[in-house]
Structure 1
Amino acid sequence: MIFSISTSPSLITSFTTARFPTSAHLVVASTSRISSSVAAVARLRRRPCPYIVFCASKVRGMEEMVDEKKSGAAAAATVASSSSDRHEISSSRIFLDARSEQDLLIGIQKEREAGRLPIHIAQGMEELYQNYRNAVFQSGQPQAEEIVLSNMAIALDRILLDVRDPFEFSPHHEAIREPFDYFMFGQNYIRPLIDFRNSYVGNISIFNEMEKKLQQGENIILISNHQSEADPAVIALLLESTCPHIAENLIYVAGDRVVTDPLCKPFSMGRNLLCVYSKKHMNDDPELVDMKKRANTKSLKEMALLLRGGSKIIWIAPSGGRDRPDPVTKEWHPAPFDASSVDNMRRLTEHAGNPGNIYPLAMLCYDIMPPPAQVEKEIGEKRLISFHGTGLSVAPNISYHEIAAAMEDTEEAKVAYTQSLYSSVNEQYNVLKSAIHGKQGLMASTPIVSLSQPWQ
């Protein structure tokens, strides 16, 4: 994701942002319903194991938990009238009461025939179900059928609910954790798509160092490549056992498409977001350009306020979108970073009044949900999903001033700093690639990138 600040009174020309939502694989199972207690949810959040399984045929248990938590919140105050709270109650039992794949697909068909689901959204839901089902079955999990039914029942229910009563994101959206926990919903949906046996984290000690800096009031900026809509969930899942604060408090600069696409919105609602209009789509509709710029200015101000408060960690992809394979070689690699976007982020960090640190972050997870080959204007891309290993790595903080001190030209210093960050991301990415695609595993570690599997 990217944004650029202009020197004009409007402060900003546009943001170029990354996409995601999808956090997710819900899961898990026992032969009884999910416990409705908040303590049970807390135990799930702490659990470091690769898979969680809810009682597949008892999806209603999740809804009972929601109802119980909602009644407690309602007794406390007036939350029932807010926009987010309308999304804490299931709109119907059509999916939550499903006992089979056929029940889910018939439910989509009935909602479409009744006019409550637009045809294109209904088709997207069916496609999402089939692709998710195939991916989870690739994992070889003995509970695969239960996992798919459980997770997709809740996902389809949340999508239907938002179609009926669309949620509107504010410039700074805070993850909705109750009465319905959208964060855990997203985590559990993606969880069974990750092959944890072939997933790795690089330099976990630096992530631990970052958590300490956050506790001391310092800000952290992660300059990262961006591969899939599942990126937020992958980051949180790979760090949940060792760096839970980062996993749950990371703020993502997110493009408008993931907060408007009905299939993405429920997953986006579980993330902390700074919502912007992407530069790539700024001029899609000339009549909306001014509105989009004003909205981006609000988001920029929100970011500045957050950094002034300290102890914030923000993820941004200065390539302006997801990585895509080379059209000739078909090889994947991090997309180039935009120097003006990196410099804007640096200046915001330095002017916040709190110590700030900028770290290069590398991600490898495109196999789980690869983006379309080309950037698409229309909302509603085809979601390809698969079961695969993933990787995440961070390198030490890179100081702009150390690089600029050896250069006389300011513009050259900005380019050199951006290149330094980009080179680090590429170096880490290649190590992850060797570990995952090259099947070298932990042996792919180098003096610069030490790989581990902290969930083991």
Structure 2
Amino acid sequence: MSSFVVCHQAWNGMLGLSASSFFSSSLPGARVLGRSASREGVWGRRLCSCGIYGVRNWMAAEPVEDRRMGRRAAVLASDTGEEAELTRSRSFLSVRAEEDLLACIRMEAEAGKLPSNVASGLEELYNNYRNAVLQSGDPKASEIILSNMSAAFDRILLDVEDPFVFSPYHKAIREPFDYYMFGQNYIRPLVDFSRSYVGNISLFYDMEEILRQGHNIVLMSNHQTEADPAIIALLLERKLPHLAEKMIFVAGDRVLIDPLCKPFSMGRNLLCVYSKKHMFDDPELAEMKRIANTKSLKELAMLLRTGSNIIWIAPSGGRDRPDPVTGDWYPVRFLVCKLLSFATKNSKVL
């Protein structure tokens, strides 16, 4: 059994995304991206204002069509199995207008069910998401916004009431509520599929064949937004849905503890780790983090021994950001970490 590594430059060149200029600000905890001019050279040409780039030589590029069934799913994002959960508040799912949704946030905060910082975060998230989806020009934008945000707020409130704890290796929760499709449907309206593409499509078919043979694949790339898992899956779901759903992502602790992020993380296969650069932010927690990372490393070893796994790692340990002086975007420097070294040891480059 072998492990194959797809290097970061090739991977970035495979997916070309077009989206709203406020794409990242409509995601939990993300920052507004895309204020710089195009950059050329090895990182290629600017494809969109949300910070996704493609390399110059993207052979065999294939456009990504907007799936009408997916569009309807985006409108009905809450129809993913939550009817099986009957023992909790459903206040957000009963709203029928924007004013009701915002009033519901304030009502839950006043009732003590939502901390004030989470309540203010929900209002900011709603406004950012609303602005982004309206820019898409979809005639059903208002319906999509209300449906998706109602479902998101319902899931966030559920986690505040009963916090979910991630295991070192977390498998996507698909029932009774399908968190995977929930995340897909939330991000779907933010992507302009008519101007997005999958480049070097043959490499993805090669990956599927490698996985069928029992080998592993490790993908390494720079990290653009917290929506990267959903973006990758959305651009692959038409031709390679199994590849998208099978992918395992190495996730840092913030997306595992932030209540605005957690419902989206719960729908992904994750190896949960603490970032090396934040290991000693609180010295009293350093040992706990070390032990947790050791457990995740053991889970990774088990996955690699089992075979037929595809694992995505952002070796930089963080998202790309603009230079504070020039404003130009640049890829974050890769950090050498035990997890990355272990995953790529004796691996072959694809």
Return the TM-score normalized by structure 1: 0.60
CA contact (8 A) 1:59 1:96 kept: no
CA contact (8 A) 2:74 2:185 kept: no
- The sequence identity of aligned pairs, in percent, is 63
Could you tell me how far 1:174 is from its partner in structure 2?
Answer: 0.1
Who is 2:33 aligned against? none
Who is 1:102 aligned against? 99
Which of the residues 285, 288, 292 maps onto 1:288?
A: 285
Rg comparison, structure with higher value: 1
Alignment of 1:345 with 2:343, yes or no, is yes
Note the 1:146-295 alignment, pairs <5 A.
146-295=143-292
> Structure 1 pair 240/96, CA: closer, same or farther in 2 (3 Å)?
same
For 1:377-396, what per-residue CA distance to the aligned partner results, in whole angstroms no more than 9, with x for missing partners? xxxxxxxxxxxxxxxxxxxx
Could you tell me how far 1:221 is from its partner in structure 2?
Answer: 0.3
Could you tell me how far 1:169 is from its partner in structure 2?
Answer: 0.3
For 1:19-71, what per-residue CA distance to the aligned partner results, in whole angstroms no more than 9, with x for missing partners? xx969xxxxxxxxxxxxxxxxxxxxxxx9617512595x777x27x433xx4x
> Structure 1 pair 126/132, CA: closer, same or farther in 2 (3 Å)?
same
CA distance in 1, matches of 2:73, 2:240: 24
CA distance in 1, matches of 2:226, 2:74: 27
Aligned partner letter, 2:125: L
**Aligned length, in residue pairs:** 287
Note the 1:315-354 alignment, pairs <5 A.
315-339=312-336, 342-347=340-345, 350=346
CA distance in 1, matches of 2:142, 2:334: 41
Who is 2:46 aligned against? none
Aligned partner letter, 1:345: A
Long gaps (5+) in structure 2:
1-25, 29-64
Q: Secondary structure at the match of 2:250?
A: strand
Long gaps (5+) in structure 1:
1-20, 24-46, 71-87, 351-355, 359-396, 398-456
Could you tell me how far 1:197 is from its partner in structure 2?
Answer: 1.9
Greater shift in the superposed pair: 47-56 or 216-225: 47-56
CA distance in 2, matches of 1:194, 1:236: 12
**Structure with bigger RCO (C-alpha 8 Å, 6+ apart):** 2
Who is 1:111 aligned against? 108
Who is 1:49 aligned against? 67
Aligned partner letter, 2:204: F
Alignment of 1:92 with 2:89, yes or no, is yes
> Structure 1 pair 313/55, CA: closer, same or farther in 2 (3 Å)?
closer
CA-based RMSD: 2.2
Aligned partner letter, 2:95: A
CA contact (8 A) 1:22 1:268 kept: no
CA distance in 1, matches of 2:102, 2:88: 17
CA distance in 1, matches of 2:122, 2:230: 20
CA contact (8 A) 1:221 1:357 kept: no
Q: Secondary structure at the match of 2:249?
A: strand
CA distance in 2, matches of 1:181, 1:114: 28
Who is 2:82 aligned against? 66
> Structure 1 pair 339/55, CA: closer, same or farther in 2 (3 Å)?
closer
> Structure 1 pair 171/343, CA: closer, same or farther in 2 (3 Å)?
closer
> Structure 1 pair 59/49, CA: closer, same or farther in 2 (3 Å)?
closer
Aligned partner letter, 1:346: T
> Structure 1 pair 312/346, CA: closer, same or farther in 2 (3 Å)?
same
Which of the residues 103, 126, 131 maps onto 2:128?
A: 131
